[in-house]
Amino acid sequence: MKGIVFNLLEEAVTMEHGDAAWLHLVEQAAGRGTYSSLASYPDAELLGIVDQAAAALSLSVPEVLRWFGEAAMPLLAERFAGLFELHRSSRSFILSINDIIHPEVRKLYAGAACPHFHFAEAEDGRLILGYQSQRQLCNLAHGFILGAARHFGDAVEVEHLSCTHSADPFCRLALSWT
Amino acid sequence: MKHAQFPIREAAGDADAVLVDRLRRQLQQERRARRDAEAVAERGLRELYESQVRLALLQRITDFANQSNDFADVLSVALKEICLHMGWEFGNAMRVSDNGSTVTACDTWFASDPERLFAFVEASRRLSVERGEGLPGRVLRDNHPHWIDDIGEEGWFLRRAEAADARLISACAFPICIRDELVAIIEFFSSKPMVDKDAILLTITQSATQLGRVIERERARATLIHDALHDAMTGLPNRVLLDERCREAFRRLGTASTGIALMVIDLDGFKAINDKYGHHAGDALLVEATRRFQAAIAAFEQANPRAGHATLARVGGDEFVVLLDSVADCAAVERLAEMLHDVLRAPTWVDNDQVAAGASIGIAHSSDAYDDVEQIRRDADLAMYEAKAAGSGRTVTFTDALGTTVRNRMALERDLREAIRDKQFLLYYQPIFSLSDGPSLMGYEALIRWQHPTRGLLDPGAFIEAAEESGLIVFIGDWVLRQGCSALARLHKRIGRKDGSTLPFVSINIAPQQFLQPNFAQQVQRVLIETDVPPDCLRLEVTEGVAIIDSERTRQVLEEIRAWGVRTSLDDFGTGYSSLSYLQNLPFDTLKIDRSFVASIDDPKSRNIIRAILDLASNLNLSVVAEGIESQAQGRTLIEMGCEYGQGFHLGIPLDEKSAFALIDQQHTG
């Protein structure tokens, strides 16, 4: 996992809960505490911190990941303003992930293992986002979607139609803008 | 997200609280410093990544550009590489033409999904627009890149409907330049927004530079090829290209034997203009003639669509060739020749002087008699020489009969050269008599014979015309003069000079070409000195042909040689023009009455003419020799009419030197 994700999590936690909260989570998770955006760290270290947060807040891991994704979006918009300026809606922003955002991420962080999203339009008009990853971070994606909608002032509803956590072969999220 | 309190330990005391506060601030500074450092590194990494990818792209394009000589291939590869690199759906190349007023697609494009883009590709691959029109037209007008962020909103974009169907939303187009000249435009289309225009600009500008170099190389190569195949002055195809087209046309004939016509055009009087006004004038004349020929050929092709395509080439100094490659109507070719003569009629201005250069045209048509196009070309050449020999402004079409005549003449010329080299000529001498007293032998007319190795002894009628046409007459004439004088000297030596007695003379025919040689008089003088023949024993016979060519020069030469004592005769008098002004202006000693009048002396008309000539000669103080006296009656009539001298079979046939000169001995002994 790229250090930038740890940085975003640290920032989100610190903003909402203060410095001590982050120190506590890192200590509990036996993490190293200081992360550089340029480096990579084991996925398990991030998930360990997330687990500690879930425990401390009495939340489920998926709930923490969704919170993190949503909270990280304004931080991303601050860091990578150019990628946001191209879009007028969260829908077009989300549709550009594979073609624009991930290539840009790879430019910054060599070897970043960005997930590939499949897009399709469902019969009911909802946008279907297909996702398959060893990391099983579909809830983080869910959070990012919510954060993007908030950034562009849209309202979006996300439904997990299928999920690898429920032993489905891959995750399918249905997105509808209202 | 629910809010909950993390369990945080309270500070132990005030001092610790201060320390914690300081450490917190320190931590925040550390974080900022780290983030700043990371931002710098990220920027560097991003730039490094982009430049590596861009350089790799450029390297691929450059490598291919260096391998290939085909601009379309290189362009095609570049469009594909750029599209794949940028994630764009369509790239299209267009070339600038018509002096930069138009840009036209050259069917060189790349489409990531050709099926979906079919309609847009079709609308683009042959698109041609004027300066300022549509996306490429704007690049052409402004000579800088243009961007479209949302095609749907740009009403001026010409392929909007097709772009919408292909779901293309953004576009950009870039000029390709060679130095300051815009030579091509490449345009790209995408269904996604084009981000980071600075990076795109950098990448495509560098690619465009590479492509510009390929065009430059292509042009240099095209120029070399063009120069190798065209005449630099007129821009017309040269001999190399003409030969190639001739062979190609001949090959296309296949089993059909007719269809090609070759026309050889030679400008008449070109050399004279070159000599008089200088080469720049000659060059200007050639350029002007080319322009007129081209206009005439264009008009001909328009009026005779069935006459095929005409290639005009310049193959030598003042020689042009027209190849007509699918002629259905032979008469049309002669009509074209007439048109070419017509356009040359109007004079051209050269150095404030008007000059007119006519042309001689030879035509040959393909037939089953030809094995290759070179033979057709040779026959067209031959026809052109016939046309030239007939005078300026003529056209001659080659026929088999002409070919036979010319080939015979060429064989004769070849034989004549050998005859000069191998000394196959000999002189016969026909005695000339004084009619009034006896008759008594006064001298001889030297007459040439050719001891031909296979055809036997030939009279001059069989070869003099060919000798004159080939210019060989000058060499033969020199030999006759020298040989005649040498023989006379031998005769004089044998009979011994006797004071008071009249030595026999020799009369030698001089052809116009020989007479008008710049050093003719000196030549005569040299022969006289070398042979020691007294000048007044040498008579030179010329026809009025010399005076027609250049009467002033004729007068000067006659005066010069007469000043030494050489006598001059006007031969064949009474035929031809027989201009009295020549008699008035030219210094002759003798008139020779043409044999035709003597032959018909029984006819009162002929007699009247002979009488008039005798009267004229008497009044001008000229002596008269009658030629062709074949009977005693003719001789008697001439004597009665007062003709002083005569020659002919009746009096003495031409004989070899020994026999002819033996007559003198008979006279002296008798």
pLDDT tens digits, one per residue of B126-135: 899 999 999 9
Asked, for residue A135, whether it belongs to a domain, the answer is: yes
Work out the pLDDT band at B668, boundaries 50, 70, 90.
low
Question: What is the structure's pLDDT at B5?
Answer: 54
**Residue B279's CB: how many other CB atoms inside 10 A?**
10
Question: Is B542's pLDDT higher than 90?
Answer: yes
Question: What is the structure's pLDDT at B277?
Answer: 85
Nearest CB partner across the interface for B2, out of A20, A38, A59: A59
Rounded to whole angstroms, the Cα distance separating B419 from A54 reads 126
Asked, for residue A40, whether it belongs to a domain, the answer is: no
Q: Which is nearest to B392 in space by CA: B349, B331, B345? A: B345
Question: Is B203's pLDDT higher than 60?
Answer: yes
Are the Cβ atoms of B8 and A106 closer than 8 angstroms? no
Question: What is the structure's pLDDT at A111?
Answer: 76
Are the Cβ atoms of B2 and A57 closer than 8 angstroms? yes
Nearest CB partner across the interface for B6, out of A21, A37, A108: A21
Work out the pLDDT band at B1, boundaries 50, 70, 90.
very low
Contacts of A19 in chain B (CB under 8 A): 24, 27
Token code pair at residue B68? 């290939």
Question: Is B4's pLDDT higher than 70?
Answer: no
Are the Cβ atoms of B8 and A18 closer than 8 angstroms? yes
3-class SS shares of chain A: helix, strand, coil, % to 5? 55, 15, 30
Token code pair at residue B477? 């004439």
More confident site: B667 or B293: B293
Rounded to whole angstroms, the Cα distance separating B39 from B663 reads 131
**Residue B663's CB: how many other CB atoms inside 10 A?**
18
Nearest CB partner across the interface for B1, out of A19, A37, A67: A67
Rounded to whole angstroms, the Cα distance separating B428 from B483 reads 11
Which amino acid makes up residue B213?
R
CA distance B19 to chain A (A): 15
- Chain-wide mean pLDDT for chain B? 90
Question: Is B581's pLDDT higher than 90?
Answer: no
Q: Which of B3, B6, B29, B85 to mutate to test the interface with A (most CBs of A within 10 A)?
A: B6
Asked, for residue A119, whether it belongs to a domain, the answer is: yes
Are the Cβ atoms of A56 and B6 closer than 8 angstroms? yes
Work out the pLDDT band at B215, boundaries 50, 70, 90.
confident
* B159-179 mean pLDDT: 93
Rounded to whole angstroms, the Cα distance separating B645 from B635 reads 10
In A, minimum Cα distance to B87 occurs at A99
B251-265 per-position pLDDT tens digit: 888 777 788 999 999
Question: What is the structure's pLDDT at A19?
Answer: 84
Asked, for residue A114, whether it belongs to a domain, the answer is: yes
Are the Cβ atoms of B7 and A58 closer than 8 angstroms? no
Is the separation of the CB atoms in B436 and B644 below 8 Å? yes
Question: What is the structure's pLDDT at B669?
Answer: 56
CA distance B196 to chain A (A): 9
Q: How far is CA B97 from the centre of its chain?
A: 31
**Residue B646's CB: how many other CB atoms inside 10 A?**
27
Nearest CB partner across the interface for A96, out of B45, B50, B192: B192
B237 contact partners, CB below 8 Å, separation of at least 6: B229, B230, B231, B245, B311, B312, B313, B314
Are the Cβ atoms of A96 and B50 closer than 8 angstroms? no
Query: Strand, coil or helix: what is B107?
Result: strand
Are the Cβ atoms of A36 and B38 closer than 8 angstroms? yes
Rounded to whole angstroms, the Cα distance separating A165 from A173 reads 13
Question: What is the structure's pLDDT at B3?
Answer: 47
- Chain-wide mean pLDDT for chain A? 90
B63-111 per-position pLDDT tens digit: 988 888 778 889 999 999 999 988 899 999 999 988 889 999 999 999 9
B271-294 per-position pLDDT tens digit: 888 888 888 888 888 999 999 999
> Which range is least confidently modeled, A103-117, B27-41, B445-459?
A103-117
B43 contact partners, CB below 8 Å, separation of at least 6: none
Question: What is the structure's pLDDT at B9?
Answer: 55
B279 reaches A (C-beta below 8 A): no
Question: Is B2's pLDDT higher than 70?
Answer: no
In A, minimum Cα distance to B9 occurs at A20
Work out the pLDDT band at B389, boundaries 50, 70, 90.
confident
In B, minimum Cα distance to A84 occurs at B195
Contacts of A100 in chain B (CB under 8 A): 192-193, 195
Are the Cβ atoms of B6 and A18 closer than 8 angstroms? yes
DSSP state of B461: G
- Number of domains chain A is built from: 1
Are the Cβ atoms of A106 and B49 closer than 8 angstroms? yes
More confident site: B512 or B24: B512
B192 reaches A (C-beta below 8 A): yes
In B, minimum Cα distance to A66 occurs at B1
* B471-492 mean pLDDT: 94
A104 contact partners, CB below 8 Å, separation of at least 6: A80, A83
B499-534 per-position pLDDT tens digit: 446 789 999 999 999 999 999 999 999 999 999 999
* A63-71 mean pLDDT: 96
Contacts of B199 in chain A (CB under 8 A): none
Contacts of A57 in chain B (CB under 8 A): 2, 4
Q: Per this entry, what is the length of chain A?
A: 178
Question: What is the structure's pLDDT at B6?
Answer: 57
Are the Cβ atoms of A20 and B193 closer than 8 angstroms? no
Question: What is the structure's pLDDT at B585?
Answer: 87
* A159-172 mean pLDDT: 89
Are the Cβ atoms of B196 and A82 closer than 8 angstroms? yes
In B, minimum Cα distance to A62 occurs at B1
| Structural domain harbouring A107 | 89-178
CA distance A124 to chain B (A): 22
Question: Is B624's pLDDT higher than 80?
Answer: yes
Question: What is the structure's pLDDT at B501?
Answer: 64
CB < 8 Å from A in window 45-74 of B: 45-46, 49-50
Work out the pLDDT band at B497, boundaries 50, 70, 90.
low
Q: At what angle do helices A19-28 and A3-17 cross, to 10 degrees?
A: 130
Q: Exposed e or buried b for every residue in A28-45, given b needs 16+ CB within 10 A?
A: bbebeeebbbbebbeeeb
Nearest CB partner across the interface for A24, out of B2, B8, B50: B8
Query: Strand, coil or helix: what is A121?
Result: strand
Is the separation of the CB atoms in B551 and B577 below 8 Å? no
Q: In A18-137, which residue ranges form alpha helices assigned H by DSSP?
A: 19-28, 43-57, 61-79, 81-85, 90-95, 102-108
Asked, for residue A56, whether it belongs to a domain, the answer is: no
Q: Which is nearest to B200 in space by CA: B169, B233, B174, B237? A: B174
CA distance A67 to chain B (A): 6
Are the Cβ atoms of A20 and B8 closer than 8 angstroms? yes
B105 contact partners, CB below 8 Å, separation of at least 6: B92, B93, B94, B95, B124, B125, B126, B127, B128
Is the separation of the CB atoms in A91 and A135 below 8 Å? no
Contacts of B44 in chain A (CB under 8 A): none
Residue bearing tokens 């000798």: B467
Sheet holding B146-148, edge to edge: B128-130, B102-111, B90-97, B181-190, B170-178, B146-148
* B465-471 mean pLDDT: 89
Contacts of B17 in chain A (CB under 8 A): none
Q: Which of B195, B196, B198, B200 to mutate to test the interface with A (most CBs of A within 10 A)?
A: B195
Q: Phi and psi for B593 in degrees, rounded to 5? A: -75, 125
Question: What is the structure's pLDDT at A109?
Answer: 83
Rounded to whole angstroms, the Cα distance separating A40 from A60 reads 26
Which amino acid makes up residue A145?
I
Is the separation of the CB atoms in A10 and A35 below 8 Å? yes
Tell me the CATH number at A96.
3.90.1520.10
Rounded to whole angstroms, the Cα distance separating B90 from B173 reads 12
* B147-168 mean pLDDT: 93
Question: What is the structure's pLDDT at B98?
Answer: 83
Q: Which is nearest to B312 in space by CA: B403, B193, B370, B231? A: B231
In A, minimum Cα distance to B4 occurs at A57
Token code pair at residue A118? 């499949």
Q: Sketch out chain B's domains with CATH numbers.
A: 66-228 (3.30.450.40), 239-398 (3.30.70.270), 413-662 (3.20.20.450)
Contacts of B46 in chain A (CB under 8 A): 107-108
Query: Strand, coil or helix: what is A156?
Result: strand
Nearest CB partner across the interface for B46, out of A24, A70, A107: A107
Question: Is B345's pLDDT higher than 60?
Answer: yes
Is the separation of the CB atoms in B229 and B315 below 8 Å? no
Question: Is A147's pLDDT higher than 50?
Answer: yes
Residue bearing tokens 């040989």: B483
Query: Strand, coil or helix: what is B533?
Result: coil
Token code pair at residue B182? 């815009």
Percent of chain B with pLDDT over 70: 97
